[in-house]
Amino acid sequence: MERQEILNKVITLVADHFELDPASLTGETNLMKDIDADSIDFVELVLEMEDEFGAEISDEDAEKLITINNTVDYIASRAK
How far is residue 39's CA from residue 23's CA, in Å, rounded to a whole number?
Answer: 24
38 catalytic? Reply is yes
Active-site choice (36, 38, 41, 61):
38
Active site residues: 38
